């Protein structure tokens, strides 16, 4: 069982780099186990990750092997806040990050799939990476189960799911939707969905696709 989880961990770690969601040593992912966590190591390129380099932590977040990412505090605070979350992905998607630099409201993105897949996305003002303040405030914004993503201004984004697959693909969907919205803004002023339509799409997403 654990070997399968390690292989899955490697797969999505490398997919982050392959699809341009991180570069160099950017980003980090983690997975909740029955009695602890797996996490990416500190300062390590995701596309080069090997099974023996994955960090294992106990249920209290203490490292059992290797040095975890400096953002591990954020992951652990999210797990404390959301018992339904089993995986966390933090990346630096270019279009998401670019839109955050101009104070864009991501819930204005008028795409059905955006609300069905991600439900609600919150935005957090810039806070020093790796700090406990960032960890605590990110987890607080993710408290509601309908919130599956947080954009970290001038930094990147965090997505969650009950599996690495769902957490990863929410990050991919967030970036893809942001890219479409970015391109639309170059050509005009895309009109946001009204509140009722957003609510309907969010309701659809509760019983659709990724969990």
Question: Residue 27 region, left (φ>0) first, then alpha (ψ -120 to 50), else beta?
Answer: left
Nearest residue to 89 (alpha-carbon basis) of 201, 179, 11? 11
Q: Which of 71, 77, 172, 175 is catalytic?
A: 71
Helices 72-81 and 132-141: angle between axes, nearest 10 degrees: 30
Catalytic residue flag (residue 71): yes
| Beta-ladder partners of 28 | 90
Q: Quick count: other Cβ atoms within 10 Å of Cβ 43?
A: 10
Please identify every residue annotated as catalytic. 71
């Amino acid at each position: 069982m654990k070997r399968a989880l390690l292989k899955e961990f490697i797969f999505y770690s490398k997919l982050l780099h392959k699809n341009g969601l991180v570069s160099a040593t950017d980003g980090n992912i983690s997975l909740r186990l029955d009695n602890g966590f797996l996490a990416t190591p500190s300062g390590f390129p995701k596309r080069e990750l090997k099974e023996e380099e994955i960090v294992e932590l106990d249920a209290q977040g203490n490292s059992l092997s290797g040095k975890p990412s400096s953002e591990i505090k954020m992951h652990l605070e999210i797990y404390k806040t959301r018992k339904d979350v089993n995986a966390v992905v933090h990346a630096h998607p270019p279009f998401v990050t670019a839109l955050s630099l101009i104070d864009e409201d991501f819930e204005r993105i008028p795409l059905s799939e955006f609300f069905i897949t991600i439900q609600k996305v919150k935005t957090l003002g810039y806070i020093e990476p790796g700090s406990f303040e960032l960890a605590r405030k990110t987890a607080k914004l993710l408290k509601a189960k309908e919130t599956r993503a947080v954009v970290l201004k001038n930094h990147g984004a965090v997505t969650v799911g009950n599996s690495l697959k769902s957490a990863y693909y929410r990050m991919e969907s967030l970036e893809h939707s942001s890219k479409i919205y970015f391109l639309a803004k170059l050509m005009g002023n895309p009109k946001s969905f009204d509140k009722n339509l957003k609510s309907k799409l969010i309701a659809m997403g509760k019983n659709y696709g990724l969990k």
